[in-house]
Amino acid sequence: MDTMRKIGDLEVSVAGLGCNNFGMRIDEDATKQVVDAAIDNGINFFDTADLYGGTKSEEFLGRALGKRRDDVLVATKFGMLKPPEDSELTGGHPDWVARAADDSLRRLGTDRIDLYWLHAPDADTPIGDTLEALNRLIDAGKVREIGCSNFSAAQLDEAAAAASERGVRSFAAVQNDYSLMQRDPEAEVLPACARLGIAFVPYFPLASGLLTGKYQKGQPPPEGTRLAQWGAPSDDKLEVVEHLDAFATDHGHTITELALSWLAGRPEVASIIAGATKPEQVRANAAATAAWDLTDDERAEVDAILG
């Protein structure tokens, strides 16, 4: 299985690192350990956002990279962090796009953002206006590629049409929730990616830890886990996870190797941004992404388990 893929002109590692834990679940020292482990294990794609960790994620990531900044690709997002209360701007408004980018560049301590995501659709701003603002950032050398997150297939088509009409670049990638436990993108978004030539980046690839084997039926979620805060998964979901775990074990793999390799086997997927709070998680996720080149028959067996 290949270890590098393309998002526009960017060559990203299939194993990426989601940085939403930085500044929220781990401090700056722990962040540096995770970033060091990622680089040591061949990860070159780091995905953060302006609102993660109350803006601390960008700051921690920038300082952790330090002089290695040119060796990696940094993606960040705008549009969910609200503009100042005295502002009438919305997340995708051109004026806010420019301000948000400058704020992220300052926090990251860099002169460019390799991939700049619109974090969510903005119903109050025409997508063409947002795209024009993003293209001005590209022209200024502040951004290399642009993407969107939480977009439907219809919204991807709308963006592509607006870009064509206005003569600007459209999104090179879309980032949505996708995993063995969340397969909604397969119906419309992944076909749209194939049709439009857009890369797909799954977030929550391990279903917020559900696909790591740490949750068991009849047992409360371990302390400090996401699902301990968000609520225990249903027994129905845990039963599916048990079947997936047994399938992976029967084939000589872990459930995490199944979850990440299964995603990597999708041709539309560019980079899988699994989060981590410890270096050993980074090492395990990086290895798991390329651990299993599932056959068509094996994928069909997985489909049968998922129902």
Please indicate, yes or no, if residue 108 is contained in any of the structural domains: yes
Q: How far apart are CA 3 and CA 127, in angstroms?
A: 33
Do the domain assignments include residue 175? yes
For residue 21, being part of any structural domain is answered with yes
User: Is 226 part of a structural domain of the chain?
Assistant: no
The reported pTM is 0.94
The first and second tokens of residue 45, run together, are 């794609």
Model pLDDT for residues 149-164, shown as the tens digit of each residue: 999 999 999 999 999 9
Cβ pair 213, 187 in contact under 8 A: no
Mean pLDDT of the chain: 94
Contact 26, 34 (CB under 8 A): yes
Catalytic option among 52, 116, 203, 215: 52
Is 96 part of any domain?
yes
Residue 74 belongs to some domain of the structure: yes
Domain of 52 in residue numbering reads as: 4-212+258-293
How far apart, in whole angstroms, are the C-alpha atoms of residue 114 and residue 143?
6
55-99 pLDDT, tens digit per residue, is: 999 999 999 999 999 999 999 999 999 887 778 889 999 999 999
Domain harbouring 123, CATH code: 3.20.20.100
Residues in Cβ contact with 13 at an 8 Å cutoff, skipping those fewer than 6 apart:
3, 4, 42, 43, 44, 45, 271
**pLDDT tens digits, residue range 94-132?**
999 999 999 999 999 999 999 999 999 999 999 999 999
Number of folded domains that form the chain: 1
242, part of any domain: no
Residue that is written with structure tokens 């436990």 in the block:
181
The predicted model gives 252-265 an average pLDDT of 98
Residue 83: what pLDDT?
Answer: 83
Answer yes or no: 52 catalytic. yes
Residue 225 is assigned to a structural domain of this protein: no
Cα distances from 163 to residues 106, 128, 191, in angstroms, run: 28, 6, 19
